[in-house]
Amino acid sequence: MFRATTLLALYFLGFASQTYANGSGVIAQKNISLELAAMAAHAALENCLSKGYLVTVTIVDVSGDTKVVLRTDGAGPHTIDASRRKAYTSASAKLATSAMLTTSQSNPTAQNLGQIDGFLLLGGGLPIRTGNTVIGAIGVGGAPGGPLDEACAQAGIDKIKDKLTP
């Protein structure tokens, strides 16, 4: 008992001194603004509409919290949750959902990725980056296939790419 208590105390002492040594313990975090999120969402939606796809587009911030949701008239009700989950998955893993799907299908140790609560391993989710830093993600659901959802998502990112300078 004494050893466990001593180890626990040393752990917390080390944590406290590390926080103190690093400053105030406040973490600065880059995040997508509402303005950029709205611009990307509109561009993705317009891209899909121009091809006749009825979709929902969701943009989440770096923490996976929803910033913008746009749904075309006539898009299926399932597209709302699908687009949100694709965006959340991409923001959380900092990867394209199509790449995660491929990995889960080809790598036995990753086959359960889709079981993580809130994840959706279908194409259509892309991280939004400034430099190498993920600041959010976009998810599109409703086009007839993941690669088509992803192309619309990429059009949204392309619309704001000149504003994503680090």
Kindly report, residue by residue over 100-157, the tens digit of the pLDDT: 999 999 999 999 999 999 999 999 999 999 999 999 999 999 999 999 999 999 999 9
Q: Give the count of beta carbons closer than 10 Å to the beta carbon of residue 150.
A: 24
**pLDDT, position 13:** 42
Of 2-16, 53-67, 90-104, 136-150, which gets the smallest average pLDDT? 2-16
pLDDT of residue 2: 40
Please report the sign of the dihedral spanned by the C-alpha atoms of residue 134, residue 135, residue 140, residue 141: positive
More confident residue, 120 or 166: 120
Domains detected in the chain? 34-163 (3.30.450.150)
Task: Give mean pLDDT, residues 81-92.
Answer: 98
